[in-house]
Amino acid sequence: MKVPIDGLQDRLTRYLRHRKVTDLPGVTAVARIDRRTKRLTKRLRAGEIAIIDHVDVDRVSAEALVACGAAGVVNVASGISGRYPNLGPQIIVDAGVPFIDNATPELFERIKDGDLVRLHEGVIYLDDETVGKGDVQTAESVEAAMSEARAGLTVQIEAFAANTMEYVRRERDLLIDGIGVPDVRTVMEGRHVLIVVRGYHYKEDIAALRPYIREYRPIMIGVDGGADALLEAGYLPDIIVGDFDSVSTKALTTGAELVVHAYRDGRAPGLERVQQLGRTAVLFPAIGTSEDIAMLLADDKGADLIVAVGTHATLVEFLDKGRSGMASTFLTRLRVGSKLVDAKGVSRLYRSRISTPSLLLLVATTLITMGVAIVVSPVGKIWLDSVRDIWSGFIFWLVGLFS
């Protein structure tokens, strides 16, 4: 197949440009750019540079960027605004990933997805041109910013308390009397319900719960990306709850019952996607988070026990989620607390101190010991003589077949 001359020139130009740039100091890689970190990590590949717009980078987003193998992270917003001690920047820096914060906002106009960019000493280059600058975050700078954020945590606690009271005022019918909870086909009366959110240590905790899942066969509810977490672990969700902005099409088409988290005014952004897939769903209007309505749904439908994986349980985690509405999670936990078991960190509660090689060595030693005991004991000698007689008889019979 002949390649047009202009096509060859274009390839040669890109090759020479790449060769020239990669010879320069710093980190050079393909850029992936998106204002939503959650959306970006779905297509970010190892060795690529992530360009984001994320105020107060949270722990889940940071862990996702590191897990994707990002070669560098450029944030045009403030990764640590000082509102509270968010956990994300520390995770990125500790992983050894170059992190440029408070970068030039115009990067989103000057860099396109797939461009080859270079990061060096806080400067972002596109080809030979400087297109932006930012602050290079180090372990020392992150720790200093975190110390200042801890000092201002009191203000955030007061705001959180005020938001909690506002939520009680607006959602007291749902929270206290269960008014507004939709009907679903899945029967939860008297059953255990496992609610999975793609939060901290969710993979390890699901793995640690395997014996419980085998024994009790709980109803499985995936909250948005939590449905994919269940699929990755080898389980099919019975119900998927959320606005469906971070759940795969594969999960939505598994046959699970779909509950769309809608606004109080009736708007349901996730419903359009469900309809495009030819699926049906029920709406659950509420101003809280999707993990809240999953818990309220299970409680209202008579679940005997609610086991939560990856959900938010501490004040810093509520703030780290980055939503004022996280106060609803605090109150929801109070509402269903009598039947709620938080599985967060269960994988770290106990870890076996016996390694696999040690276990195999122990088994081999036991078998050898048993073999020696059989050989030297009188009963063992009789047993071995019997085995020899049986084997000799078998050989004699086998030879007789061919003679």
Q: Do 181 and 310 have their domain in common?
A: yes
How much of the chain exceeds pLDDT 90, in percent? Answer: 46
Beta bridge partner(s), residue 130: 125
Residues 320, 205 share a domain: yes
pLDDT at 89: 94
Q: Do 205 and 239 reside in the same domain of the chain?
A: yes
Residues 176 and 314 in one domain: yes
Q: pLDDT exceeding 70 applies to what percent of the chain?
A: 74
Give the per-residue pLDDT at 1. 43
Max CA separation in the chain (angstroms): 97
User: What CATH number corresponds to the domain at position 40?
Assistant: 3.50.30.10
- Least confident range from 71-80, 186-195, 237-246, 336-345: namely 336-345
Residue type, position 351, single letter: R
How far is it, in rounded angstroms, from Cα 199 to Cα 349?
Answer: 17
In terms of domains, do 224 and 373 share one? no
Residue 16: pLDDT band (50, 70, 90) is very low
pLDDT at 7 over 60: no
Which range among 10-14, 318-322, 353-357, 358-362 shows the weakest confidence by mean pLDDT?
A: 10-14
DSSP at 31: E
Backbone angles phi, psi at 209, to 5 degrees: -90, 0
Residue 170 pLDDT grade (very low, low, confident, very high; cuts 50, 70, 90): low
Q: 150, 182, 212: which is the final residue of a domain?
A: 150
pLDDT of residue 201: 78
Same domain as 393, residue 245: no
Smallest CA-to-CA distance from 198 within 232, 167, 160 is with 232
Give the mean pLDDT of the chain: 82
CA 222 – CA 229 distance, rounded (Å): 8
Stated as kind and residue range, the H or E segment containing 126 is strand 123-126
**What is the reported pLDDT for 33?**
96
- Write down the pLDDT at residue 343: 82
Judgement on whether residues 143 and 161 belong to the same structural domain of the protein:
no
Stretch (H or E) spanning 148? helix 139-151
In a shared domain, residues 174 and 91: no
Residues 342 and 370 in one domain: no
pLDDT value for 95: 95
End residue of a domain, out of 115, 150, 185? 150
As a whole number, mean pLDDT of residues 159-168 equals: 65
Domain count, the chain: 3
Q: Which amino acid is at 276?
A: Q
Confidence band, pLDDT 50/70/90 cuts, at residue 164: low
Q: How far apart are CA 177 and CA 82, in angstroms?
A: 38
pLDDT in tens, 249-299: 999 999 999 999 988 777 888 899 999 999 999 999 887 788 888 998 999
The residue among 236 and 317 whose pLDDT is bigger is 236
Q: pLDDT-derived band of residue 15, with 50, 70 and 90 as boundaries?
A: very low
Residue ending a domain, choose from 309, 334, 349: 349
The C-alpha angle with vertex 343 and arms to 341 and 347, in degrees rounded to 5, equals 150
pLDDT at 2: 45
Helix (H) or strand (E) segment spanning residue 275: helix 269-276
Residues 178 and 127 both lie in one domain: no
The verdict on 269 and 329 lying in the same domain is: yes
For the chain, the C-alpha Rg in angstroms (whole number) is 29
311 C-beta neighbours (distance < 10 Å), count: 26
> Which whole number is the average pLDDT over 328-350?
71
Are 103 and 189 in a shared domain? no
Domain that holds residue 361: 356-401
Count of beta carbons in the 10 Å neighbourhood of residue 315? 15
